[in-house]
Structure 1
Amino acid sequence: MKKLLFSSFVVALMSSSALAHTALMSCFDNGDNTVTCEGGFSDGSSASGVQFTLIQNGKVILEGKFDKDSTFTFKKPEGEYEAKFFAGEGHEVVVKSKDIAQ
């Protein structure tokens, strides 16, 4: 019985911690034809190593991962595009180019 209670407690603890943070990303135009996106989680966790994708006209034009500082810098493409932070199901953020300011 103690084993069952302990297992239930561990599962409940893992479930609550999995829901305890939200993915966040903001992007800004550097004014030199590059854009930097900063990612992270609402609990302060780093986005280092998290997947970054740049999408234009429904096609992936650039893929990479956030660096040790949780940033990703890319050359600004011509036209409209979307920057996507993807850390797994339920942890995805998309920023449209029209929402990126200098």
Structure 2
Amino acid sequence: MKNIIAKLVVAAGLIVLSATAALAHSPLCSCFDNGDGTVLCEGGFSDGSSATGVKLFVRDDSGAVILKGAMNENSEFEFKKPAGHYTVTFDGGEGHSIEIDSSDIVE
């Protein structure tokens, strides 16, 4: 009887661990300079989930938010390119944020 209970506990533990791994997903976000004074960011998650509604923040060198918005129904966000150095933050929630430095955003 103890052997059967031990096997059930192990099986239940494996099921819980498998479910947790299946729910894990990483944020993905890339931004591109359109060459016309605008920047386009595209986002999503590694499990194929949409980024619709995910918040984005554009910050200046001091960390002040100069623009905020959200990914549209196509998981895109386009904005006017700020003057000088800036950082784009894709805020997919706790543990799911990405920061993109303006020096990494190219045409």
Normalised-by-shorter TM-score class = 0.7 to 0.9
Q: Which residue, out of 23, 30, 35, partners 1:31?
A: 35
Residue 90 of structure 1 corresponds to: 95
Equivalent position SS for 2:20: helix
Larger Rg: 2
CA distance in 1, matches of 2:73, 2:33: 20
The one-letter amino acid of 2:106's match is A
CA distance in 1, matches of 2:95, 2:23: 10
Matches within 5 A, 1:14-93: 14-19=19-24, 21-57=25-61, 58-93=63-98
Equivalent position SS for 1:37: strand
Q: Taking every aligned residue pair, what percent have the same amino acid on both sides?
A: 47
Structure 2 gaps, min length 5: none
Equivalent position SS for 1:49: coil
Q: How far off is 1:89 after superposition?
A: 1.1
Q: Normalization by structure 1: what TM-score?
A: 0.85
CA distance in 1, matches of 2:27, 2:57: 15
Structure 1 gaps, min length 5: none
* Number of matched pairs: 99
Q: How far off is 1:17 after superposition?
A: 2.7
CA distance in 2, matches of 1:101, 1:50: 22
CA distance in 1, matches of 2:86, 2:97: 16
Q: How far off is 1:15 after superposition?
A: 2.1
